Structure 1
Amino acid sequence: MCDDEIHQFEGTLLAPETPISRRAFGLSAAAAAGLAASVSASMAHAEATVTEKDVDIKTADGTCDAALFYPQGKGKWPAVLIWTDIMGLRPAFRDMGRRLAAQGYVVLVPNPFYRKARATETVKLDFGKPDERAQLMPMAASIGAPGAVEGDASAFLAFLDAQPQTDKKKGAGTQGYCMGGPLVYRTAAVLPDRIKGAVTCHGGGLVTQTPASPHLLIPKMKAEVYSAVAANDDQRAPTDKDVLKKAFADAGKKATVLVYDGCNHGWCVKGSAVYNEAGAEKAWAELTALYKRNLV
């Protein structure tokens, strides 16, 4: 799934992915089983304590359908914007939104392809089938148009800030997966005074040879950034992590760029052929720690 996504969307050819064992993170079978039980309990708790709503958001280019999540009960919480991978808004990302909201955040997961179709249509498409993949690629191109992300990000954060549950006095966060990685950088750059925490997981095309390369936006950011890099992405572009590290250091920004050994592109998204539970939980723990440090 994600190999073709990055090849088509970012112009980088990736080799086939292969599933990886939990042993990449030194987990015994018993520990892995315990982790699975813990994650299941966490998701069940999230469902019981989170309010979920389907919402429509007005943007400069139309109406975006999205999923909104926030903790039940009285209170105000920091806002977080989640950018999906190329398969868009679907149950795996609703689970993420629900889980994060249960930890004390107001979370928005928009359909990034709303200019072309609503999520109820895109969720039916299978990226593994050539004819259906051909329908998804123009949708991906729509979010890559100049100014599209910047306009959308501003509209989405304005929507989050308009919610009575959002604590606007606290910093906001954004996280993105695969295709969503560059969108995180662009969001943090266009809203530097609002975005205080930014996370990319197996982000595609963070470093390119074009003037529009996301890494060139780093000086405009004020957020602490965590970029989790897939092992096979690093193998194919081994200097990208060094370019990112240097760009953050030169700009005086607080950031971590970490290669996840044993985890292939797409490892954080449940349902992916390369989903790695141990790696996904490690990235989630880093993400939530970063938010706790910065969204205050």
Structure 2
Amino acid sequence: MCDDDIHQGLTYDPTVSRRAFGLMAVASAGIASAARAAQKVVERDVEVKTPDGVADAALFYPEGQGTGPAVLIWPDVVSLRPVFREMGRRLAGEGYVVLVPNLYYRVKRAPVVESGFNFANAEDRAKLTPMRASVTPEGTDRDSVAYLAFLDAQVQTDKTRKAGVQGYCMGGPLSVRTAAAVPDRIGAVASFHGGGLHTEAPTSPHLLLPRTKAEYLILVADNDDKQDPQAKENFRAALAAAGRPHKVEVYEGANHGWTVRGSQVYDEAAAERAWTELLALYKRALV
């Protein structure tokens, strides 16, 4: 699976304001219903205490609709920004209590890139290197415990139901780590064009699968699969060996980053299909 260093295209369009972003979403037929649902969503900027400091994050939940399952969203390498806020709002509009943290809170508050940032530019990518170094396996495990505890402390969270975790790009392996860090809470894991799920390193996420109790949805980008077709097979075999229910699928024609609006490789039809699969997973597994 693709390393996020070769993520294609623009991942953050600074010309799109928060208001314009919402209008653009409404204009899109594929998410018009989600935009209507988001009108009943509460969005709060929050700070989450962790063993390593205070993480800035965004919290979303449906307004006046009782309680719902918790979901943690790990963003891609460019971290918390408007497109991931939109995902949080949309998911909350479906009845979930959603937290989207800043991956790099140990180094910098979100947004972590300046206007005009382009992942296709090597100099821009290099700006993320010191921030990425702050995201370690051990730190992710500590963060996961803190984030789930924060979600469970919200009065809107239904703690009798399992929680979900989903990740994009480098957020894919972070999601697996979350499932292992809080196995009794996480009932579903979704990875979208995730990289590094199965490696030779002793910290490889696949080694954690036996500790987890979740169902897995692993959606692979077509170009990632063409670079390393064995990667998905290795992870599928690890899931089977761990006895975890799963679906591993290559999205033919969809390139790395296809689910992230604002990316030059964003594929709305494929992104909507992935969203439908995500909601079906949560409906089935978060009980």
CA distance, structure 2, for counterparts of residue 16 and residue 63 of structure 1: 31
- CA drift at 1:246: 1.1
- For 1:38 and 1:178, locate their aligned partners in 2 and report how far apart those are by CA, in whole Å: 22
Q: CA deviation at 1:141?
A: 1.6
Partner of 1:43: 34
Matched-pair contact (CA < 8 Å) for 1:69–1:97 = yes
Residue 29 of structure 1 corresponds to which residue in structure 2? none
**In the alignment, structure 1 residue 172 sits paired with structure 2 residue 167:** no
Q: Secondary structure at the match of 1:127?
A: coil
Aligned residues: 269
Match of 1:133 in 2: 125
Q: Choose which of 43, 46, 53 in structure 1 pairs with 2:44.
A: 53
1:119-161: per-residue Cα shift (whole Å, max 9, x none)? Answer: 0343644434433322211111211x24110000100000000
Identical pairs, percent: 55
More displaced 10-residue stretch of structure 1: 258-267 or 241-250: 241-250
CA displacement 1:163-185 (0-9 Å, x = unmatched): 00001010000000001000011
Matched residue type, 2:59:
L
After TM superposition, the structure 1 stretch with the greater mean CA deviation from structure 2, 242-251 or 78-87, is 242-251
CA contact (8 A) 1:81 1:107 kept: yes
Q: 1:204 aligns with which of 172, 178, 195?
A: 195
For residue 155 of structure 1, give the secondary structure of its aligned residue in structure 2. Answer: helix
Alignment of structure 1 residues 137-156 onto 2, 5 Å: 137-143=129-135, 145-156=136-147
After superposition, what is the alpha-carbon deviation per residue over 1:5-24, rounded to whole angstroms, capped at 9, x for unaligned? 624xxxxxx5978xxxxxxx
**Counterpart contact for 1:68–1:107, Cα < 8 Å:** yes
Q: What is aligned with 1:20?
A: none
Question: Which of 184, 201, 212 pairs up with 1:193?
Answer: 184
Is residue 2:264 matched to residue 1:266?
no
Cα distance change, pair 289–74 in 1 and its aligned pair in 2 (3 A): closer
- TM-score normalised according to structure 2 size: 0.89
How far apart in 1 are the matches of 2:113 and 2:146? 22
Deviating more after overlay: 117-126 vs 246-255: 117-126
- 1:169–1:275: structure 2 CA closer, same or farther, 3 Å change rule? same
User: Residues 192 and 160 from structure 1, CA distance in 2 versus in 1: closer, same or farther, beyond 3 angstroms?
Assistant: same
**Corresponding residue SS for 1:63:** strand
DSSP-derived class of the 1:119 partner: coil
- In terms of fraction of residues, the more helix-rich structure is 1
**What secondary structure sits across from 1:107 in the alignment?**
strand
- TM-score normalised by length of structure 1: 0.86
Contact 2:7 2:119 in 1 (8 A): no
Deviations 1:13-64 (A, max 9, x none): x5978xxxxxxxxxxxxxxxxx94141x123213311000000111111110
Q: Which runs of 5+ in 2 are unaligned?
A: 10-26
Gaps of 5+ in 1: 8-13, 18-34
Once superposed, what is the RMSD of the aligned Cα atoms?
Answer: 1.9
Distance 1:121 1:239 in 2: 34
Say if 2:113 is the partner of 1:115. no
Asked whether the equivalents of residues 71 and 99 of structure 2 are also in contact (C-alpha less than 8 Å), the reply is yes
Counterparts in 2 of 1:69 and 1:123: CA distance versus 1, 3 Å: farther
Give distance in 1, aligned partners of 2:174 and 2:30.
Answer: 31
Matching residue's letter, 1:225: Y
